[in-house]
Amino acid sequence: MCKMTLSRWLVLAVLVLRDVFALKDVVLTIRPQTVEKSRHATLICSYDLEGASLYYVKWYRGTYEFYRYTPSEKPTTKLFPFKAINVDMNRSNSTQVVLTDIDFQLSGNFSCEVTTAEEPASTQTAVKSMLVVQLPQYPPTISVGREPLDYGDVLRANCSSPPARPPAWLKFMLNNSTVSFTPRMLPRQVQEAHWSDLSLELKLEAYHFNRGKLILRCAAEVSEIYYEEAVLELASARNPVPEKVSALDSAGPAPCHTVLLGVLFFLIIRV
Ligand SMILES: *[C@@H]1O[C@H](CO)[C@@H](O)[C@H](O)[C@H]1NC(C)=O
Ligand SMILES: *[C@@H]1O[C@H](CO)[C@@H](O)[C@H](O)[C@H]1NC(C)=O
Ligand SMILES: *[C@@H]1O[C@H](CO)[C@@H](O)[C@H](O)[C@H]1NC(C)=O
Ligand SMILES: *[C@@H]1O[C@H](CO)[C@@H](O)[C@H](O)[C@H]1NC(C)=O
Ligand SMILES: *[C@@H]1O[C@H](CO)[C@@H](O)[C@H](O)[C@H]1NC(C)=O
Ligand SMILES: *[C@@H]1O[C@H](CO)[C@@H](O)[C@H](O)[C@H]1NC(C)=O
């Protein structure tokens, strides 16, 4: 009876000790997680050794190990060459790895694996994915067909955004409401950067005009880190009369001819 209890205590003690030296909170952070091609990124592996000592930290791209930190060895860092991975050894240590001149093929999962030295050794792995992108070099541009435009006319416009990877997602907005967009299902895997083009052919209705104005905007978006707009105010055949008249009662004494014009307008409206 007493022996049983003792062995139970022993098991408990071992479990507690194990817990004392248990590795905790292994977290991998990639800064930035969406990185532009040729730039650099810092991969930070944070962990809580809980009093234990570190055996090693292994770094993987997918299943390929490219960097290892072993405090008990000289040198402490080991690099396993892999095409397209450039490690800045000067800025890499037991908790971080700096990748430079990043290429598209590095998009994907990275992981850090932490192992403690004491028996029983404990190991934990954290995974994060990195996306390598190329952003457009300049904002989108709009070209339009004939102007001025009135209700019932067909507005024809094109929007174009310079090469990007993934290609920019485009949308046209008229009076702040989206009237056309490229489908969300853009090809996910593209070998190189791609231009994005979007055409609009829209029969204009009264609600498209905002106080007689037509404001056409084209927005380009890449992977939630890039957003640029082109704005074009289109000549409209619906320039509002009230706005012009209201200009009379602003800015001090109105010149004589403006007053006369106003009176003329008033008379025309009366007729
Ligand atoms: C790393 O440091 C060494 C010595 O300080 C220096 O010669 C080398 O240029 C550095 N490398 C990089 C990539 O900064
Ligand atoms: C690793 O290097 C980074 C940047 O130089 C530094 O902030 C960090 O404290 C270093 N980590 C350790 C464990 O020395
Ligand atoms: C990347 O990691 C995530 C989460 O761990 C996993 O679901 C996904 O399948 C991995 N992708 C690849 C290509 O291994
Ligand atoms: C829009 O692009 C198409 C195809 O390239 C072209 O035929 C058309 O003339 C363009 N329209 C405008 C308004 O630029
Ligand atoms: C359109 O949206 C922009 C930005 O969201 C805002 O500044 C502008 O006042 C809006 N115009 C109209 C007519 O709603
Ligand atoms: C266009 O803008 C005007 C003024 O801001 C607004 O009253 C109207 O609802 C808008 N129409 C659309 C379709 O957004």
- Ordered by start, the domain boundaries in the chain are 6-133, 141-234
Q: How far is CA 170 from CA 109, 163, 184, 200, 236, in A?
A: 28, 13, 10, 11, 24
Find out whether the beta carbon of 125 lies less than 6 Å from any atom of ligand 2. no
- pLDDT above 90 coverage of the chain, percent: 55
Tracing tokens 């009369």 back to the chain, one arrives at 241
- Whether residue 243 has pLDDT greater than 50: no
Which pLDDT score, from 0 to 100, does residue 258 have?
A: 46
pTM of the complete model beyond 0.75:
no
For 70-147, strand residue ranges (E) read 77-79, 86-87, 96-100, 108-116, 123-133, 141-144
Which of ligand 2's atoms lies nearest the C-alpha of 96? 1
- pLDDT above 70 coverage of the chain, percent: 77
Kindly report the CATH number that applies to the domain delimited by 141-234. 2.60.40.10
> Are the C-beta atoms of 32 and 130 separated by less than 8 Å?
no
Q: What is the mean pLDDT of residues 75-99?
A: 93
CATH fold match for the domains 6-133 and 141-234: yes
Q: Tell me, in angstroms, the distance from the centre of ligand 1 to residue 202's CA.
A: 59
Mean pLDDT, the chain, rounded, equals 82
Q: Tell me, in angstroms, the distance from the centre of ligand 4 to residue 158's CA.
A: 6
Kindly report the CATH number that applies to the domain delimited by 6-133. 2.60.40.10
